[in-house]
Structure 1
C-alpha cells in the first residue's frame, strides 16, 4: 500500500491516542476500519485521500453491505471515515469531508430473546435459602410481574410500592412516572422481603432493595445476582434483567393481543417501540393484565380472578 494512504491513517491514530486520549481498543478499531478502506481505495487505483469523493464513499458502503456488514457496523465505519477527514482537513490534506452526509442503511429490528413461561415459572417457584436469595427472588418476581427496566427496579423506594392497591410507581426514561400493576406472587414476595430488609437497611435508607451492607443495590449487583440465580436453579439460557422485561412483554401480548396496554405497561413513548413484539389491537389495560399475566391471577372462579384484578387496577 502506498505511503500516501497509510501515513495519514497512522498519524490520525497517533492523534487519537495522544491528543484525544482514546483507549488502545478504540484506536485499534479505528485503525482496522480505516485500513480496510485504504486497501479498497488502493485496489481501485486511488492513492490520495484528497481525491476521495462522496460517490466513492457511497460505493464503499455498498461494498461493505455486500460483504455482509449490518447497519450498525457500517455506521461505525462511516464514523471513522468522518473523523479521519476532520483530521485531514485540519492538516490540509483534504479539501472536504466526503462522508459527512452519508448515512448507514438501517438494520431490521429483531425480536428480543425471551424465556418461555414454563422455564420462568420453574425459576421463580424455586426455594430461596437465605435473606439475600429472598431479596433476589422478590426482585425477579417484580421485574417479570411489572415489566420493569433494570434502572427502574434499582430506583424503587419503599414509598414506590402500594401493596394494598397492588401497584408500583415507577420513574422511567426521561423521568416520566407511570403506575403499573403488581401481580399476586410479586406482592407476596415483597411482603416476605420487607421484614428482612428492615434488619439490613438503616432507617434513613429509602431504597426498596438493599445490599447486605444496607445500601441501595447497584445495577451490576442485580445483573450478577440474576445470572447467579439462573445458574443455581438450572436455567437453560443466561438470565439478565432485560430478558425478564422482554418476556413480560412477549407473554402479555401472546395471551392478550393488546398492544396498547403493553405499551403503557412498558412505559414506551412511541407504540412503534412496542411493535417490535407484535402488532395487535387495544383492550382495557388492568383487566387484560389480570386476565393474561401468568403470575398475576388467582386460580378459581371468574369472580375470584376479578376480585384480585380490582386490587391490580
Structure 2
C-alpha cells in the first residue's frame, strides 16, 4: 500500500474517532482536517505518518509561517498535529509524536473587547413588541446574564431552563454540562419570549430559540441578528456573542474580584484561560487612575 493511501486511511480513522467517540462539533472537525491537510500537502507519496520526524514538522511549520499564516493559526495547527499523533500512538500506528515539544511563534496577547455597563443598559433597557425582536432581546439578555457561549445558547432546549429558580443547564465544551444563573432582567425577557415562541416553533420542536422556519436557530443567524441589534442601537463597534460573554466576565470580576467564581461561571477548565479578565480589570483601574489622580492627569 502506498504511503499516501495509508495516510488517508489513518486520517479517516481519526476523523471517525473524533466524530463518534469524542463528539467534536462539525466546525471543530473541519478545522482539524484542514490543518492535517496542510501537512499532508507537503509530503511525498511514499511518506507515512510514522516516518515523519520532528525536523519535518518544524520545516512545514516554517513554510506555513513564511506563507503568512498568523501565529494563532500556527499554534492551532501544531495542536491539531499533536492531537492526531496522540491518536496514532493510542492505536499503535506510531511510536512517537514528532510535533511534541515544538514551540510555535510567540503571539501578542490581545484583550477581548468589552462593553461598559452603560452601553449594555442602553442596548437592553427597552420594550419590544415584534415577536422577532422579543426573541432577539431574550437572546442578548441571556448572553449577558449567564455569560454563555454561542454554541451553548443555540443548543438550549425549553426544558433546560427553570425560570423560577433562575437557572439553566448548558452543554459546554467537551460535552460537559454546567448550571448557569439567569438574572431577573433575563428571566423577564425569556418569559416574554416563551409567550410568543409557539407562534414560530414547529410541533415537537424542543429548542428554546427558533427561527422563522420553526426550527432551532443557527449560530450564524444569532450572529447576524446580534450584529444588526448593535448597529440599530448606535454601537460604534461590531457586536457579537463573545463580546457579551467577555463583558459579563469583566463586569463580574470587576465587582467581585473572585476569579475562581468567574472561571466556574464561564465553564473554563483551566483558570489560566480566565486570567485574561484580570488584565481587563487592571486596565479599568488604570483608566480610572489616569482620569482622577491629581498627578496623573495631563495638563490642558
The 5 Å alignment of 1:127-146 reads: 127-146=127-146
Residue number in structure 1 paired with 2:107 = 107
Give the match's secondary structure for 2:276: coil
Counterpart for residue 202 of structure 2: 202
1:249 positional shift:
0.5
Q: Point out where structure 2 has 5 or more consecutive residues left out of the alignment.
A: 1-33, 43-53, 80-97, 281-300
SS for the counterpart of 1:205 is coil
Q: Provide the TM-score with structure 2 as the length reference.
A: 0.62
Structure 1 position 214, deviation (Å): 1.3
* Alpha-carbon separation, structure 1, partners of 2:157 and 2:215: 12
| CA apart distance, 1:279 | 7.6
Q: 1:213 is paired with a residue of what secondary structure?
A: coil
Q: Which residue of 1 aligns with 2:258?
A: 258
Q: Report the CA distance shift for 1:177/1:203 in structure 2 as closer, same or farther (over 3 A).
A: same
Q: Which residue of 1 aligns with 2:117?
A: 117
Contact 1:126–1:233, Cα closer than 8 Å, also in 2: no
1:192 correspondence with 2:192: yes
Equivalence for 1:277: 277
Q: Residues of 1 paired with 2:260 and 2:128: CA distance?
A: 35
The reply to whether residue 225 of structure 1 matches residue 225 of structure 2 is: yes
Q: Give the Cα separation in 1 of the matches to 2:199 and 2:276.
A: 42
Shift in Å, 1:111: 1.9
User: C-alpha distance in 2, partners of 1:189/1:70?
Assistant: 41
Q: Write the mapping of 1:1-313 to structure 2, written as runs, cut at 5 A.
A: 71-72=71-72, 102-278=102-278
Shift of 1:253: 0.5
Note closer, same or farther for the CA distance 1:99–1:250 as it changes in structure 2 (3 Å cut): closer
SS of 1:278's equivalent in the other structure is helix
- Distance across 2 between alignment mates of 1:243 and 1:118: 15
Residues 69 and 222 of structure 1, relative CA distance in 2, 3 Å threshold: closer
Q: 1:264 offset after TM fit, Å? A: 0.5
Q: How high is the TM-score relative to the length of structure 1?
A: 0.60
Q: How far is 1:129 from its partner?
A: 3.8
Count how many residue pairs are aligned between Structure 1 and Structure 2: 221
Q: CA deviation at 1:104?
A: 1.9
Instruction: Quote how far apart the aligned CAs of 1:212 are.
Output: 1.4
Match of 1:44 in 2: none
Per-residue deviation at 1:116? 1.2
